[in-house]
Amino acid sequence: MATLVQWLAWVERRMAAIIVGEGLRCGLAEVKQGPLVVTFRVRLLDPNPLHLRKILALAPTLAQAFQVDGVRITDTASGILIEIPSPQPRTPTGHQLAQYTQGLRVTIGMDQWRCPVFVDLMHHPTLLFVGPPRRGKTSAMKSILYALAHQQPPHQVRYAIISQRHTDWLAFEQAGRCFGVINDPQEGLKVLEWGAG
């Protein structure tokens, strides 16, 4: 596999050829590798409604050109963002997320610019992780627990883990703050009822 730098140069050439082929003139303002996507920020040099519609409609063509499942193109105040799945995803580690966490303002991940994304558990005490397999949900949950345990005194953070994949959570099961790891759905429902009470 080519290095990331070679891949980025290849993508930039293909993207430029497609954009120029559509009669559009753009300037590349920035390229940033996020955890799951590489974002190209471009600016239309001759912005008008027709050119904007044309560039926003290029996502399927670019996905085919880059041989990826999907490309997302959005119009923002800072320019046109073209997000392409990264060939080398960089999931943030628990330690990286913990260093940005402050109290109950927990870092839950990084955005496409590799800036921390926060949830204040004081105002939003429940988090739900939904997504397809192999996208970092379990890693994010482990990172949040690590960050909370790292930052908070033991009496402030207690948790129970309900998961069908018990083996993913064995490292947390022995922690003093953990009530236990539950993989039985009925027992998990009882734990949720107990927690809500």
82 vs 147 pLDDT, higher one: 82
Whether residues 55 and 78 share a domain: the answer is: yes
Q: Give the Cα separation of 157 and 51 in Å (integer).
A: 53
Percentage of the residues of the chain whose pLDDT score is greater than 70: 97
Q: What is the pLDDT of residue 83?
A: 95
Of 154, 172, 189, the position where a domain reaches its end is: 154
Predicted TM-score of the model (pTM): 0.66
* Residues 150 and 170 occupy one common structural domain: no
Q: Verify that 189 and 123 share a domain, yes or no.
A: no
CA distance 66 to 152: 45
In a shared domain, residues 14 and 67:
yes
CB 107 within 8 A of CB 151: no
pLDDT score recorded for residue 20: 93
Specify burial of residue 69 (Cβ count, 10 A radius: 0-12, 13-18, 19+): exposed
Residues 26 and 55 in one domain: yes
Percentage with pLDDT > 90 across the chain: 37
For residue 81, the surrounding DSSP H or E stretch is strand 79-85
Instruction: Give yes or no: residues 47 and 118 share one domain.
Output: no
Please tell me whether residues 66 and 28 are part of one structural domain.
Answer: yes
142 plus 163 within the same structural domain: no
Statement to judge: residues 27 and 71 lie in one domain:
yes
Do 32 and 63 share a domain, yes or no? Answer: yes
Residue 69's domain comprises 4-85
pLDDT at position 145: 82
Looking at residue 36, which CATH number applies to its domain? 3.30.980.40
pLDDT of residue 49: 95
How many structural domains is the chain composed of? 3
Q: What is the pLDDT of residues 111-128, one digit of tens each?
A: 877 788 888 988 887 777
For residues 5-33, average pLDDT: 93
